[in-house]
Amino acid sequence: MSHLQEDREILQPLAERYAAIAHLEVQRERMERYYLTNGCQEVRPVVLIDEVPWGEIRDPFLVNRCALPEHQGLEGLLRRSLYQWDHFQVDKVFSPVFQVGKHVRSTGIGLEVKDIQIKGDTGAYIASHEYIDQLATDADLARLHPPQLSYDREGTERAAEVAAGVFAGLMEVEVIGQVFQYNIWDQIACYRGVDKLLLDLVERPDFMHRIARRFMEIAQATLAQCVELDLLHATPLILHCTPACVRDLPAADFAGRVRPKDTWGRCSAQIFSAVSPAMHDEFDLVYNQQLFRDCGLLYYGCCEPLDTKIHLLRERFANLRKVSITPWADPERAAEGLGRDLVMAAKPNPAFVGSPTFDPAPVRQEIDRILSACRRHGTACELVIKDISTIANRPENLTQWAATVAEVIDRHY
């Protein structure tokens, strides 16, 4: 028997179960809550689990068996999706149409990241980085240039054909673009290092403004190419681990080719957890205001605490819809600032699933604080646990976390 035939026999039962789940009525019900949440409606919060350390889940079901490289990525996605559905699905949605992202090539910006990494064996993408400073002078800055993007049509069509063959007779396959996401200071940190970056915000502010402006220009050129090459997506299901479904997009005059006004934008400045609101505004928000002003909607934030900066986000971004609120932010102050016209993308603490013994008490307390604040202020809320560096080799921690969160939500909604 050929490798192709063997792979098809491995993939067929996985695809059949995936497609059956994707056509369940619960998918439409959950997607409706995605829409209502992003429409700032006060409904039962969506709960999602993402960025799982799969290397710590040593279930034989998760072991890839396909021989051909073109099948291995798809097999891994199917196995992980089905495992999550069985063990900690929360409000995960399987789209009724299987989506294949457009493949894009980039020439880079003139520098390659140089760093020393310490990476664990948990299967998480998370690693510790010591970055080498490559942008210490204006001469270094002059080496940067916008990347040249190209659409890999052949690679995309090949991936779509593989998926179509696997899902033949089960579900449709479509090729989709991407949401434009760009974090100016996350990029800069990778070329400067954290300590020098933060020190120079104080000691060399003019130089740091020149760096920020240059990365903004690089991002603007990147976005322009995404539009020109038709690489954007107007109706994504997920936006960086959070629900993306929204009835405001695409724009009313949408004619088939996606423009910035038809899609979400997303940005953040995680390294600015350590700076004042005024400095955050001066060095980041003013540049992202220019970069993302034409996007239909904006989601701001990631791991940086933003509860004291929401008023600045409102002033800078007329298209702001969603703000990330982390475990290091005060949910009461955040909900008061977000009110009824912005969505709280609450990020529960992943440390609570990283212990050898799961303790539901701090989870109950954390989720109760978030939901109580949102209920008091009429704020739409979603709960997304991510950046999970470890589960102490106990996948049941995620199952128990999901059950605990559902229990708390039941008391509030």
Q: Which string of b and e fits 138-177 if b means at least 16 CB within 10 Å? A: eebbeebebbebebeeeebeebbebbbebbeebbebebbb
Q: Determine the pLDDT at residue 117.
A: 82
Of 215, 207, 209, whose CA–CA distance to 191 is shortest?
A: 215
SS3 151: strand
User: What single letter denotes the amino acid at residue 294?
Assistant: D
Residue 273 has pLDDT above 80, yes or no: yes
Q: Determine the pLDDT at residue 127.
A: 75
SS3 243: strand
Mode of pairing for the β-strands spanning 127-131 and 115-119: antiparallel
Q: Determine the pLDDT at residue 12.
A: 96
Residue 186 has pLDDT above 80, yes or no: yes
Task: Output the six-digit token pair for 365.
Answer: 């307390």
SS3 71: helix
Residue 123 has pLDDT above 80, yes or no: no
What's the average model confidence in pLDDT over 122-126?
67
Q: Which string of b and e fits 261-281 if b means at least 16 CB within 10 Å? A: bbbbbbbbbebbeebeeeebb
Q: How many residues does the chain have?
A: 413
Q: Determine the pLDDT at residue 1.
A: 62
Task: Output the six-digit token pair for 18.
Answer: 């995936």
Residue 82 has pLDDT above 90, yes or no: yes
Q: Determine the pLDDT at residue 119.
A: 75
If pLDDT is split at 50, 70 and 90, which confidence band does 115 have?
Answer: confident
Q: Determine the pLDDT at residue 2.
A: 82
Place of tokens 């100016």: 184
**Model pLDDT for residues 218-239, shown as the tens digit of each residue:** 999 999 999 999 999 999 999 9
Of 134, 72, 84, whose CA–CA distance to 109 is shortest?
A: 134
User: What single letter denotes the amino acid at residue 316?
Assistant: R
Q: How far apart are CA 149 and CA 225, in angstroms?
A: 7
Q: How far apart are CA 319 and CA 334, in angstroms?
A: 18
Range in 80-84, 130-134, 244-248, 351-355 the model is least confident about? 130-134
Decide if 382 contacts 342 (C-beta within 8 A). Answer: no
If pLDDT is split at 50, 70 and 90, which confidence band does 315 have?
Answer: very high
Q: Determine the pLDDT at residue 124.
A: 64
**Model pLDDT for residues 388-410, shown as the tens digit of each residue:** 999 999 999 999 999 999 999 99
Of 94, 102, 100, whose CA–CA distance to 16 is shortest?
A: 94
What's the average model confidence in pLDDT over 133-137?
94
Query: Residue 310: exposed, middle, or buried by beta-carbon count in 10 A (0-12, 13-18, 19+)?
Result: buried
- The β-bridge partners of 328 are none
- Total Cβ atoms within 10 A of residue 412: 15
Q: To 10 degrees, what angle do helices 3-22 and 69-87 make? A: 30
Residue 118 has pLDDT above 90, yes or no: no
Largest pairwise CA distance in the chain: 67
- Total Cβ atoms within 10 A of residue 70: 15
Of 88, 87, 62, 84, whose CA–CA distance to 75 is shortest?
A: 62
Residue 125 has pLDDT above 90, yes or no: no
Q: Determine the pLDDT at residue 3.
A: 80
Q: How far apart are CA 328 and CA 344, in angstroms?
A: 14
What's the average model confidence in pLDDT over 151-156?
97
Q: How far apart are CA 16 and CA 10, in angstroms?
A: 11
What's the average model confidence in pLDDT over 46-54?
97
Task: Output the six-digit token pair for 39.
Answer: 């429409």
Residue 190 has pLDDT above 80, yes or no: yes
Q: Determine the pLDDT at residue 121.
A: 67
Decide if 15 contacts 78 (C-beta within 8 A). Answer: yes
Topology (CATH level 3) of domain 3-412:
TIM Barrel (3.20.20)
Three-state SS sequence of 338-374: HCCCCEEEECCCHHHHCCCCCCHHHHHHHHHHHHHHH
Q: Please state the separation of Cα 400 from the chain's center in Å.
A: 23
- The β-bridge partners of 116 are 130
Q: Determine the pLDDT at residue 350.
A: 97
CB contact set of 156 (below 8 Å; sequence gap of 6+): 100, 101, 102, 103, 175
SS3 66: coil
Task: Output the six-digit token pair for 332.
Answer: 């009461």
Q: To the nearest whole number, what is the mean pLDDT of the chain? A: 96
Mode of pairing for the β-strands spanning 343-346 and 320-325: parallel
What's the average model confidence in pLDDT over 143-170?
97
Task: Output the six-digit token pair for 162.
Answer: 């593989």
